[in-house]
Amino acid sequence: HRIGALDIGDVAIWVGVVSAHRYPAFDACRWILDTVKADIPVWKQEYYENEPSKWLSNNG
């Protein structure tokens, strides 16, 4: 997982799984990301062209 400023396209989190077929691997990655986002507080600051930046959090 990353901290600090990220540019558009930078990797914030990398998840890798191994599976004999791609769809179970996609499902496993989705489960891991959903679990991380549910269990770990994540904050991000979004920047906009025509309005002030906003801090967003996944925990309400």
pLDDT of 60: 55
Closest by CA position to 15, among listed 26, 7, 4, 24: 26
* 26-52 residue pLDDT tens: 999 999 989 988 888 777 888 899 999
Q: What is the largest CA-CA distance in the chain?
A: 47
Question: Is 20 buried (19+), middle (13-18) or exposed (0-12) by CB count in 10 A?
Answer: exposed
In this predicted structure, the answer to whether residue 58 has a pLDDT above a threshold of 80 is no
